[in-house]
Every structure is written in structure tokens, then in C-alpha cells.
Copies of this chain bind each other. A is one copy, B any other.
Amino acid sequence: MSKKPTYDPYSRRHFLKSTGVVIGALGGMALSRPAQAVPAPAPVPQKWDTTVDVLVVGTGFAGLAAAIEARNAKANVLIIDKMPLLGGNSVLNGGDLAAAGSKMQKEQGINDSPDLMYQDMMKAGNWLNYPELAKTVAEHSVEALEWAQSIGAEFNVVNYHGGHSVKRAHQLVQRSGSGLIMKQQQKAKELGAVIEQRTKLLRLIVDQDGSVVGAEVRRRYKFPDEDSGNIAYIRATKGVVLASGGFSQGVALRQMYDPRLTEEFTSTNHPGATGEAIMAACMVGALDTQMDWIQLGPWTSPDEKGFGYIPQFVERIVGYGLMVDPVSGKRFFKETGNRKERADAIIQLGHPAVIIADKTNTMNMVDPGQREGALKNGSLKMFNTLEEVAQAYQMPVGAFVEQVNRWNGFVSQQSDPDLGCMIFKDAAPNVTPPFYAARLWPRVHHTMGGLAINKDAQVIGFDLKPIPGLYAAGETIGGVHGAVRLGSVAMTDCIVFGRIAGKNAALTA
């Protein structure tokens, strides 16, 4: 039966010619959307190519934690990752792990508790977090830290991150998530878990009873060539753990939730964070939750790649310098607004904003290394006069200079009646050259949504019951962070639910 409708009440059809992906719902936007390989359910194959107890998808913090615990529980474990490089987004992580009530905190006289961390998470999440998931992460945060230490990870500083009530971000000596990933890989291999790179999950396989019993995969896959490698079937007699990350890089997919996020928005994530595994789970009945909460960093520059230097410049400068719309030369949103508010305001402009601070404010606040790095890659520029700033960004000179003077008046009076920006006490009027300026355009940073799980890391279906044999952890899941994830909680979340998922999968009867 062909079901193509023959009635078209409006002018044109909206199919991506190359792939047949429908973009009708997303039409009317400026840019075309690249195709995305997305999976459908697969039947149980005649023959399995590989049989294991537990199949783990993803080699980041969560996947490796799951693999280690599954092995500790005596399961035979295979870990697959579609990318040639192991570690997913975790190796791009800044290396901070939130733990509430640790020994390191106590030594530094920091009073903290799981309840305080839980409250911070809920507040940041606009109280949309699944309370029990957030509580589980907070209550097991110190255990997660100690577990990381037990497999050889070293932490030496306790940092502060915005939104937390106290310093609780324990920093790896390497200042990068790779410091933990290396130890996790080492441990997983030592325990006998097998890691297969360049093997991509295509579809989950469900038996007659509705249990997930394995996966259709593509081995020797060469990202992003969807025809590369060969199809194979992996049977998982106990369970499948999805720990395949988020979908910040999945342009077509993320636009289904936030149509503004065209390919014009790049991402701070590794290129493989495209979310097909989440869709593969939904295709077998898994409920996806809070997918609409996609975090954009308002502080990235279109003039450098990835995360870059500019976010640090911006976060030190807000409350000192000013951010303007280059078309009008005027301020348009309070510089100290939260990430979401600022990103939304810049997107609404439709073009990059410009942030400016003078020598005094920049020297006082910005780390010299960050400043030099940004000047060197060209994302930060230096000017002798405000007129030069205006010319460089094609701003109306008069309006811009008047706006800077107006802002300097607000700095002197310590209050911004125009937009309500916080002005810090040590801010100085921006009058001393050189003036530093950078362009800002948000990048997709983290997808809060994902598969719904219960606190046993079992994936919940659209029938609100757990799907037998299917577990998930890490950025693949939704609900832990609600509307907004706090910095440094990702690593904790990944370890806590990764361990639970791996153990539960292994102990499945």
C-alpha cells in the first residue's frame, strides 16, 4: 500500500532530495539541513555474529564505568564506539567532578552536603529535574569521586562553578576528562572487557516478549560515511547499556525540538555527538524526555573553533564591559543574564553580537594566557579608539560611542537602569585604550534531554514501564539536570548512572 498523499494544499514539497528525510515541519528556515542517518527497529536475525552478556554502546565516562561494573559482576562485556577515537565528549571535558562532602573539601574547610548539591541542581534545572535521579547523583557523588580515585585518577584542586553554593568541582591533575578516561580504559581492559572502535549501533533488536536482546551494528564504520563497513548482529544475553552521549551535533534531530538550531550553530562537542542511539531506542518504544532543553553557550566566538578562548574572556568581562548589537551599535540584553537568556537574545538578533572592554577592565579580569591565545587566533581584536572598534564591526559610530559613554555612566553610578545588568564594584569606566572586542555567536553545548530512566538505570517506555534488557546512562539520558546542567555535574552523573547501568545489566537474570 502506497501512502503518499496526493493533496498538497500549499505550494511546495519539503523533502531533502538526497535522503528522503522530511523537513516540512522545519521549513521556512534559512539553511538546508544535512541528512542524518537514523535507525528503525530490526527483526531478530537468523544468525548472530557475536554473543556477549552485556553490550555497552559508548566509550565515555558512562560507558566505561558501565563496562567496568559489568565485568566486576562477572559479565562478559563488549564495548562499541562508532568513532576511531575513544572517549567521546568525555575527553573534551574540562576535568572537573562535582562531589559534595569529600575529604578534599573537608581539608579545605568547605562545608558541603549531598542535600545542598541536590538543591543546587534542582534550582539550576528550574525544578524540572526528576527528583530521584538528581538525588541519586548528589548522594553518590563522593562515592563517584572515590571510585575514580580507586582506579587511579588523581584530583588536586577544588574549583568553583556558577550555580553551585560552594566549591565542589574536584579537578583532575590533567585538567581534562582524558585523565579519567585513560584510567577507565586501562581498568576495563585489565578486567577483560573488549573495546571495538568504529562499530556503530544501527538498530536495537527486540524479541517477541519486548525484551532488548541485541543490536544491528556496522563494523569497520568510517564516520560519517553511512555506507562504510559491514552489517553485523551482536547478541546481548543480559542487556544493552546505551551510553552514547547527546545530540548537540545532530542538526536535523536537534531542530525537531528547537527549530532555530540550524547548521549555522556549530557545537562545542565532538563531531560524533549526533544522537542516533537515542532515536534507535525510541524506535523500540523508549520514552524520550526533556529533549527541548538544549543548552547553548552564549559566549563562543564564530572566529575560532570549538570552545575556544573567548568564553573565558566573556565570563570575566560581563559586569565590566558591554555587549552590543553591531547593527544599531546599542546594547540589547543584560550582559550578566544567564546562559539561556543571553543565547536566546543573540539568536534573536540574527547575527553575532560584539562584546567590548577597555584595557583596565581586561587587564584586571582576564587571564593573560587566555587573552594572548585569543589575540593570536584572531578571535579577540585590539583597537586604539572606539571609532576603530565601530569601523571594524561596521557599527554606526555615533550611536556606538554614545552607548559606551552611557554604559560608563552606569559603571560610575553602579546601576544599569536600561537593562538591569549587574555591575561589579571594581568595574572601571571603559576609557583607557586599547579596547578589546570579540564577536559572539552561541554554540550548542549540551543536550539535557534523552531517554527516561528510573534510578536503576532501566530505560522507561512510552507505556511508562521499563523496557527489559535496556539500560542507559550519561548524556544519553534525560531528567537528571532538568532545564539546565550545572558545570562539573556531568562527570558525576556519568559515573553514578554508568556504574548502576553496568551492574544492573550484568545481574539481569
Contacts of A29 in B (CB 8 A): 131
On whether the beta carbons of B129 and A259 are closer than 8 Å, the reply is yes
- A110, CB-defined interface residue at 8 Å: no
On whether the beta carbons of B25 and A133 are closer than 8 Å, the reply is yes
Quick one: closest B residue to A260, CB to CB?
A: B127
| A139 vs chain B, min Cβ distance (A) | 8
Q: Mark A129-162, 1 if CB is under 8 A from B, else 0.
A: 1111101100010000000000000000000000
Q: Mark A288-326, 1 if CB is under 8 A from B, else 0.
A: 111111000000000000000000000000000000000
On whether the beta carbons of B289 and A257 are closer than 8 Å, the reply is yes
Interface residues on chain A, number (Cβ under 8 Å): 91
Q: Mark A246-283, 1 if CB is under 8 A from B, else 0.
A: 00000011001111100000000000000000010011
- A337, CB-defined interface residue at 8 Å: no
Docked complex: A111-135 residues within 8 A CB-CB of B: 126-133, 135
On whether the beta carbons of B283 and A131 are closer than 8 Å, the reply is no
Contacts of A10 in B (CB 8 A): 136, 455
Bound complex: CA of A47 vs CA of B192, how far in Å?
52
Q: Which of A193-201, A206-214, A354-362, A432-440 contacts B (4 or more CB under 8 A)?
A: A206-214
Docked complex: A450-465 residues within 8 A CB-CB of B: 452-456, 458, 460-465
| A290 vs chain B, min Cβ distance (A) | 5
Bound complex: CA of A73 vs CA of B5, how far in Å?
12
Contacts of A73 in B (CB 8 A): 7
Bound complex: CA of A466 vs CA of B23, how far in Å?
10
Contacts of A1 in B (CB 8 A): 207, 209, 211, 213, 237, 468-469
| A339 vs chain B, min Cβ distance (A) | 15
On whether the beta carbons of A282 and B287 are closer than 8 Å, the reply is yes
Most interface-central of A5, A135, A465 (chain B CB within 10 A): A5
Bound complex: CA of A136 vs CA of B24, how far in Å?
11
Quick one: closest B residue to A500, CB to CB?
A: B9
Bound complex: CA of A465 vs CA of B20, how far in Å?
7
Bound complex: CA of A104 vs CA of B91, how far in Å?
62
Given contacts A6-B508, A25-B454, 6 further A-B contacts (CB under 8 A): A4-B508, A7-B503, A7-B506, A27-B132, A41-B285, A289-B292
| Sampled A-B contacts (11; CB under 8 Å) | A4-B468, A4-B508, A6-B507, A7-B73, A7-B504, A7-B507, A25-B453, A27-B132, A127-B344, A128-B259, A257-B290
Closest 3 CB pairs of A and B: A24-B454, A3-B468, A28-B131
